[in-house]
Amino acid sequence: MKHLALLTICLLGCFFSCSDKQQDFPFYNPDLPVEERINDLLGRLTLEEKVSQMMNQTPSIERLGIPEYDWWNEALHGVARAGRATVFPQSIAMAATFDDQALYETFSMISDEARAKYHQYQKDNEYDRYKGLTFWTPNINIVRDPRWGRGMETYGEDPYLTGRMGVAVVKGLQGNDPRYFKTHACAKHYAVHSGPEWNRHEFDVTVSPRDLWTTYLPAFEELVTEGNVQEVMCAYNRYDGTPCCNSNKLLTDILRNTWGYDNIILSDCGAIDDFWRKDARTPRHETHPDAETASASAVRSGTDLECGGSYHALLKAVQDGLITEEELDVSLRRLFRGRFELGMFDPDASVPYAAIPYSVVESPEHVAQALDMARKSMVLLKNKNNILPLSKEIKKIAVIGPNANDSVMLWANYNGFPGKTVTILEGIRSKATNAEVIYELGCRHTTRDSVTSDNGIRTPVDYKAIASKAKDADVIIFAGGISPRLEGEEMPVDAEGFKKGDRTDIELPGVQKEMIKALKETGRPIIYIVCTGSALALNWEEANADAILNAWYGGQEAGTAVADILFGDYNPAGRLPVTFYKSADQLPDFQNYDMKGRTYRYMTEAPLYPFGYGLSYTTFEYRNAQLSKKKIGRDEPVALTLDIANTGDRDGDEVAQLYIKNPNDPEAPLKTLKAFKRINVKAGATVQLSLELPSKSFQSFNDPKQIMEVRPGTYQLLYGGSSDNKDLKSIELTIE
């Protein structure tokens, strides 16, 4: 025992003396310029060590005191996959708030939780995945087609809305300290990526330069040039025959040279494998013969970091002359700059974000914000005869449907795990304290097997029997729609209407239609709560339900938010960030990336519900619209000032929207959103609002020159409460 104690003392003494020596390396000195620290560190690394630091799972370098680090972390709508965290509404829902300031505040809270969790993990010597500071968020791909299962992760179909919301996310995550980034944000998936999920590892996207520059790239450009995003993730698919993570046009010509981006580019997970690996079960691009060639080619194109393991082959690629060590250093400089600027090599005392206490994780303030965002996100689609809000004196309520008591559905995907989740059923029961609330599952999302006996045998539901239990209710609340267990990223789902995470149509599953039709036969009023990550064709429901509330996947406080809206404690004002089509017949082929006929910007048919649409319990009027100038030069900004009057008897939010119609470009969108503002207006009051339009708002694509430019001519500025022409007023502006 004496010898063991002596050995322990010796080992501890060696550890502390080694650590002290390691801290003497110049790259550990926080007072030195970052570039000097990078130079010192790179000069100490062997080629093998350099290669090891170019994949998401970086091993420790013990001789230099550098711990392991995994770059892979998620924070789509809260810190994800890392235990307890506040779960805010899914991204598509937060897009429906049309409130980028509230989104910024939300992601400032998310990055607080991220920092607190990271520093606790460091103290506990936990360095594995989902415990770092580099978050692969936001997803700013455009929802060109509602059948894409990952549309829920985005901010919808509009490039401008996506850009504004994306910048808010980036700034909230990265913080505003002059020296350190709070966390890293990552703009993904670059570029022209929005399904299908089932063939993404081999799919080759062909799209016109006009659609590329006016639809698929604008949000990425905003996050790079305005948001100063620190990471960009290249997509799985090919673009014009070349994998995105090997595309000189996307990565070098546009991202690095045109936009001046010099931060980290990383691959989607396994994307480099798709260059070369052969797999009979998962067809891939197979554009390269082996891992060495694929990895060298990706790095030379600008992909600094791989999520995966193909980059192990870079060692042999250097030895074989396919790439030089100096070329690897270009990427390594970006990677280590990122870690230095996050304070990973500095003492906590030097990093202000290290002082954020762990108590912020799912704190009362953050839970309150989750509730506020859930309320703001919900879109009232129908309210026949003002059946909503319901009276709190109502006597009997029947709550039925597969989403009524499902907490996990509310978390969506890429989620954290809250300490408590309020389901829709629980929210209604807590609110309607004077009512008898009965609950029936009714049916599952896609099957009639809803009743499970004691011996585990499922039996088909009897729709009429379920409906008969609700026949004497004052109101029936049906909570249906779909689920993140049916739509999402490359999923093993083959239910009717669904394929590998995507949808094959946009209809409500047939079993739910049968259930709600049986409920309709009771003659009782039906309030339909829709949970979904994108558009559904709700034609029968629009014609037959008394009210429809789109609740999305609303996060941990969704049930409270639904009840607040149903019973009038919150006046809904969410707006659709995607068009709700009448059927898939209104859509082009899913694999066609051309924008013709897609979204409110190019669709000539009437949709079921238009982009920007949403009802309120009050009414608003737009008055006294004036431009700061009626004529401007091509480089001049302009402002539209107007009054918004609340002409109803309830306080409420209005989302003012400003669209531009460009008659000077025959290929331009029918109209396109260029400004919005969510404001609260008291009942009977009027608020003046100014919507600013910088000169780039009027840019269109010049096909012969292949550039964006402002053309002279007369433009229509359309303003109102949705994109529907009947909701818009017009004023003209001349650009000289």
Q: Which residues pair with 507 in a beta bridge?
A: 537
Could you give the C-alpha distances from 365 to 119, 362, 476, 592, in angstroms and in order? 21, 8, 33, 44
Calpha distance 108→359 (Å, rounded): 15
Catalytic, out of 99, 222, 268, 502: 268
Q: Which residues contact 171 (CB under 8 A, 6 or more apart)?
A: 104, 107, 227
Q: Which residues contact 329 (CB under 8 A, 6 or more apart)?
A: 42, 50
Query: What is the arrangement of strands in the sheet containing 652-661, beginning at the earlier edge strand?
Result: 631-632, 728-735, 713-720, 652-661, 672-681
Q: What SS3 state is found at 574?
A: coil
Calpha distance 631→629 (Å, rounded): 5
151 contacts 199 by C-beta, under 8 angstroms: no
The number of angstroms, rounded, from the C-alpha of 135 to the middle of its chain's C-alpha atoms is 12
Spell 356-390 as b/e; 16+ CB within 10 A means b. Answer: beeebbbbeebbebbbbbbbbbbbbbbbeeeebbb
Spell 695-728 as b/e; 16+ CB within 10 A means b. Answer: eebbbbbeeeeeebebeeeebebbbbbbbbeebb
332 contacts 54 by C-beta, under 8 angstroms: yes
The number of angstroms, rounded, from the C-alpha of 326 to the middle of its chain's C-alpha atoms is 36
Catalytic, out of 100, 372, 440, 487: 487
Q: What is the DSSP string of 272-284?
A: THHHH---SSS--
Could you give the C-alpha distances from 275 to 54, 241, 252, in angstroms and in order? 17, 12, 18
Q: What is the DSSP string of 413-430?
A: SS--B-S----HHHHHHH
206 contacts 199 by C-beta, under 8 angstroms: no
Q: Which residues pair with 500 in a beta bridge?
A: none
Helices and strands (H, E) in the chain, number of each type? 20, 28
Residue 487 annotated to the active site: yes
Backbone angles phi, psi at 622, to 5 degrees: -100, 130
Residue 139: how many CA atoms within 13 Å on its side-chain side? Answer: 28
Which token pair is 169? 């996310």
Residue 327 annotated to the active site: no
Which of these, 563, 510, 503, lies nearest to 533 by C-alpha position?
503
Backbone angles phi, psi at 234, to 5 degrees: -80, 150
Q: What is the DSSP string of 518-561?
A: HHHTTT--EEEEEE-SS--B-HHHHHH-SEEEE--S--TTHHHH
CA angle 566, 568, 572 (to 5 degrees): 75
Calpha distance 419→559 (Å, rounded): 15
Which token pair is 720? 């109102």
Catalytic residue positions, numbered: 268, 487
